[in-house]
Amino acid sequence: MRSVVIVNAGTGGQASVIFDACLAAEMPVAGWLSADAQSRNPAAALNRLGDLSLLDNREFVAQFAVIVGAGSAQFRRTLSLKVLGYGGVLATVQHPAGTLSRLAKIGAGSFLAAGSVVGVHASVGRFCIVNTGATIDHDNSIADGVNIAPGVHFAGNVQVEEDAFIGVGAAVAPGIRIGAGATVGAGAVVIRDVAPGTTVVGNPARLLHKRAAIEERP
């Protein structure tokens, strides 16, 4: 097993949660990277190995399995694809207190936190976050880069497109599609499809605003 390197976005929160899950799962962790030496250390016991330029070093990338600890979908996607482009490996981290069905799939570079549940025939893409206590029920399809916050609950047959963000405690009814780059606000109850690039809030969820354009994803 390659030792894990955690990329810290700066605040250290998500990186800390990933490090804790690695400890619980007895996954070896070599250290962390960040753009700035002043970035918050995810854990006192974890050494900063250097800055993000190390991800451009093929020899470095070849030694480790990398996971990006950041809430930003763009940050996770950009750095994860860089690692893959250099022939590197992305670490997939699951806290042992999370539940992943044997009939579910999860992509490289994704993270399943404590208390998370990914149900039967569900599919979670690459560099996703399924955070603490979030539940993904049967036959869900979660595309690359999606961030599912703590306490979110998806019913069956939900489809979430790339880089969407689902806020804390949101609930999504069966058969709903959430578009690429969409944001579902904290505590929202989603009973209708959510268009790409839009933000919905409330119970039932209603449109708050729409971005002018959706960026193309590689």
Average pLDDT estimate for 191-201: 97
* pLDDT at residue 48 in the model: 86
CATH classification (class only), 97-205: mainly beta
Q: With left for phi above 0 and alpha for psi between -120 and 50, is residue 139 left, alpha or beta?
A: left
Select, from the ranges 8-22, 40-54, 59-73, the one with the highest average predicted confidence (pLDDT): 59-73
More confident residue, 9 or 169: 169
The residue whose two tokens read 């700066």 is 10
CATH for 4-91, options being 3.40.50.20, 3.40.720.10, 3.90.1200.10, 3.90.78.10: 3.40.50.20
The rounded percent of the chain whose pLDDT value lies above 90 is: 81
- pTM comes to 0.91
Range list for CATH 2.160.10.10 in the chain = 97-205
Residues with catalytic roles: 138
* pLDDT at residue 142 in the model: 98
Using one digit for the tens of pLDDT, what is the confidence trace for 35-45?
876 666 666 66
* pLDDT at residue 45 in the model: 67
Rounded CA-CA distance 16/38 in Å is: 16
Average pLDDT estimate for 72-99: 95
Average pLDDT estimate for 89-108: 97
Confidence of residue 208 (pLDDT cuts 50, 70, 90): confident
* pLDDT at residue 42 in the model: 63
Average pLDDT estimate for 135-152: 98
Best CA proximity match to 86, nearest among 64, 103, 71, 106: 64
Range list for CATH 3.40.50.20 in the chain = 4-91
Using one digit for the tens of pLDDT, what is the confidence trace for 13-40?
888 899 999 999 999 999 999 887 666 6
